[in-house]
Structure 1
Amino acid sequence: MAPDRKSSRAPSEPAARQAPGERLDEAILRSAPEFNALEVATETGVTIEQARRLWRALGFPEFVGEKAYTAADVKAVATLMSFVDAGAVDFDTAVNLTRGVGQTMARLADWEVSTLVSRVEEMESGAEATGSRIGSALRLIDEVNPPFERLLVYAWRRHLAAAVGRIEAMGAKDEDLHTIDVSVGFADLVSFTALSNTLDRDEIGDLVEVFESRCQDVVARYAGRIIKSLGDSVLFVTSGAEDAVAVAEGIINVIGRDSKMPDVRLGLASGPVVQRLGDIFGPPVNMAARLTQVARRNRLIVDQNTADLLPAEDWESRRLPARPVRGFGLVEPVAVRRR
């Protein structure tokens, strides 16, 4: 299914009389809204409540009685229900998958638009100008979307294969395929809130983009993955403690050692975590986040589990004074370094 806006005009209305936002919507969707929720349900054989659940799972508000849905929306519901009807998954599982698609695509769409806005400005200020930003945006959509759609399918297949491989390589528990043993890292920019109050919007955006992109590069280099980023912090996982420490050292080098960037603090913890909804949960996640709060600037501290996983012939560790860590009581963090 795809989002759309309420529209009372006939599909044949000349483009010149259409609102600019609607022309962009339809250029992307390639169809106009012509069904209400009841008609979608009737066309696909689902109940009205099932149709509404799927729409909410994608992340859109409900339309009551309005012709807000396109032929593509109907086809998407029918496609989804085909593998539910075949018994591959039940409806609740289908809703869960739809929610994952909605959340992921919402962020990707925002990312794509914010990235391409500057390109639209360049086109309108140069020889490629069409006379309006909408005109340039329409042209860019025509040029970018078809190959980008193919890239999406490729990237999804690649990441799906990698996700399955991780479950096997990380030794998912036989009794619960959601549980894996990992090292969890949390990187946090120091005094980001105070700093952001002194920057304009472009500078804040540039700072966050540099931080996230550099962290992504370092994490990928050591076969880890970023679970989520929150602007001034990044949560990542690796399959082993040594890789996690290497990632942490790399982030300190590319962020904390850069005089143009804020300082950074890092905490690592290791142990079993639960994978759900594209996120991870468990004590190691909480511990890694808490350790960043007590770490010194441009320093890494780890929990004892992580220190114990590092080969003693290559690493030396030093227990730091016990300190209160929220949710864990008194904890003795560990500083590690290569021999």
Structure 2
Amino acid sequence: MSVEGTGADPRRAAAEDGGAAADGGDAVRGDGAGEHGRDDREPGFGPAGTAGRAGADAAGEAVGGAETDEDPLAIRLEQLILGAERQYTPFQAARTAGVPMELASRFWRAMGFADIGQAKALTDADVIALRRLSGLVEAGLLSEPMAVQVARSTGQTTARLAEWQIDSFLEGLTEAPEAGLSRSEVTYPLIELLLPDLEEFLIYVWRRQLAAATGRVMQSADDEESVHRRMAVGFADLVGFTRLSKRLEESELGELVEAFETTAADLVVAHGGRLIKTLGDEVLYVASEAGTAAEIGLRLIESMRHDETMPALRVGIAFGTVTTRMGDVFGTTVNLASRLTSIAPKDAVLVDGEMAAALARDGDAPLSEVEAAEEEKEGGVSAYRFALQPMWRRPVRGLGVVEPWQLTRRPSAAG
């Protein structure tokens, strides 16, 4: 996507208007941080990066309204994105929302907002958000610890999204289209154009994901199963990534990681799994059915094997009880899947005994090739998708002795 059609002059005019607005002093008003006495000197919090070390050092309000050293265009960009001017100190925002400062501080910390002292850096939107979150607690819909978890999970997720969009998305779109325009001057009109659609798209994706997550919980047999569920957990790990990272340029390494994460994420989702997280050279995914996890693991191997730019891959899958929390998964099953990955040969999938038993129980793989051969003689064509070969029993750090199985496709199921 380009910014063609917006014209150079409107973008320059927008930047000039931004500078004029900031120079006029409308964006930041300073009338002293001590007006509310002792309470007003309590630690305050606000959006990280709102004013760099936004509060007492840069914003100026805390010392009686001194002029700010911030870039006027940066202030105007902030106003565009937030939809409002800075108006409150953290104490004033908490008081206006009717929330104790201590609780407000907990919420702001959980959302990932930096300590800004008592700078006037918060807006009406901050007050409304604070009031809504505390209102859920007052109404008994959320406990206070749960409300803090909501704030933390939302803050962590959106912080990563925002960083990605700035680093990978906007950076590629804000190259100055003509001499004399800086990247900053191009950014304002671009964000002005993109913001409404990106906001609506974010809400759409969130609603879709929320519907899918709710559906998974509703399918659980009981309340305990909704938190501690039996599922397959898979790890996929690039072989020799550390050595490779020392040979490649940073840009090349970044492209390789992005290609791996994109391919893995697409395969996991397309075949019915759920991507939990990517860790550069490693991907963690889960699936409700053992056969789904097995199919994903093999397809990951096959996809990377046919890409000459990619190093070899190894996959470990375990089946068992998993604890879910804030979108992540924990427990012995997760640890076992990770250990299996570390001992798997290149371009191979190792599974644990529980996973092998689940595949056999669901009719996806025989535990004995003798049985499979007899069934093929009787029926002519095997109904099994996968083959399982027992490997040597071996001790695994922290988990005792395990008997891994190597998972492959049966010839009749290949392709």
Letter in 1 for 2:342: Q
The offset of 1:30, in angstroms, is: 2.5
Partner of residue 403, structure 2: 332
**1 CA distance for matches of 2:191 and 2:180?**
14
Give CA deviations for 1:157-207 in whole Å, capped at 9, x if unaligned: 1000100111233x3544353111111000011111211122222112111
| SS of structure 2 residue aligned to 1:296 | coil
**1 CA distance for matches of 2:74 and 2:387?**
60
| SS of structure 1 residue aligned to 2:277 | strand
Give CA deviations for 1:86-122 in whole Å, capped at 9, x if unaligned: 221122211110101000001100111122201112x
The offset of 1:140, in angstroms, is: 1.4
Preserved CA contact (<8 Å) 2:348 2:407: no
How do residues 171-190 of structure 1 correspond to structure 2 at under 5 angstroms? 171-175=220-224, 177-190=226-239
| SS of structure 1 residue aligned to 2:232 | strand
* Correspondence 1:68 to 2:121: yes
Preserved CA contact (<8 Å) 2:232 2:318: yes
* Correspondence 1:45 to 2:111: no
Letter in 2 for 1:54: F
| SS of structure 1 residue aligned to 2:104 | helix
| SS of structure 2 residue aligned to 1:275 | strand
| SS of structure 1 residue aligned to 2:231 | strand
**1 CA distance for matches of 2:326 and 2:180?**
43
Unaligned runs of 5+ in 1: 10-16
The partner residue of 1:147 within 197, 221, 230 is 197
Partner of residue 243, structure 1: 292
The offset of 1:18, in angstroms, is: 4.1
* Correspondence 1:319 to 2:390: yes
* Correspondence 1:207 to 2:289: no
Partner of residue 31, structure 1: 84
Preserved CA contact (<8 Å) 2:290 2:319: yes
The partner residue of 1:160 within 196, 203, 210 is 210
Partner of residue 187, structure 2: 137
**2 CA distance for matches of 1:304 and 1:289?**
15
**1 CA distance for matches of 2:192 and 2:221?**
44
Q: CA RMSD in A?
A: 2.4
User: Identical aligned pairs, as a percentage?
Assistant: 40
**2 CA distance for matches of 1:295 and 1:238?**
20
Letter in 2 for 1:248: G
Preserved CA contact (<8 Å) 1:173 1:180: no
The partner residue of 2:325 within 276, 293, 298 is 276
How do residues 103-122 of structure 1 correspond to structure 2 at under 5 angstroms? 103-115=156-168, 116-121=170-175
Tell me the TM-score normalized by structure 1.
0.92
| SS of structure 1 residue aligned to 2:135 | helix
**2 CA distance for matches of 1:176 and 1:38?**
42
Q: 1:192 to 1:263 in 2, by over 3 A?
A: same
| SS of structure 2 residue aligned to 1:46 | coil
The offset of 1:331, in angstroms, is: 1.6
Give CA deviations for 1:55-109 in whole Å, capped at 9, x if unaligned: 1000122222222322211111112222222221122211110101000001100
**2 CA distance for matches of 1:201 and 1:22?**
32
- Say which is worse superposed, 142-151 or 315-324, in terms of deviation: 315-324
**1 CA distance for matches of 2:180 and 2:98?**
45
Letter in 1 for 2:60: S
Unaligned runs of 5+ in 2: 1-45, 62-69, 367-382, 411-415
Larger Rg: 2
Preserved CA contact (<8 Å) 1:24 1:134: no
Letter in 2 for 1:113: I
Partner of residue 8, structure 1: 60
**2 CA distance for matches of 1:133 and 1:8?**
27
Preserved CA contact (<8 Å) 2:47 2:114: no
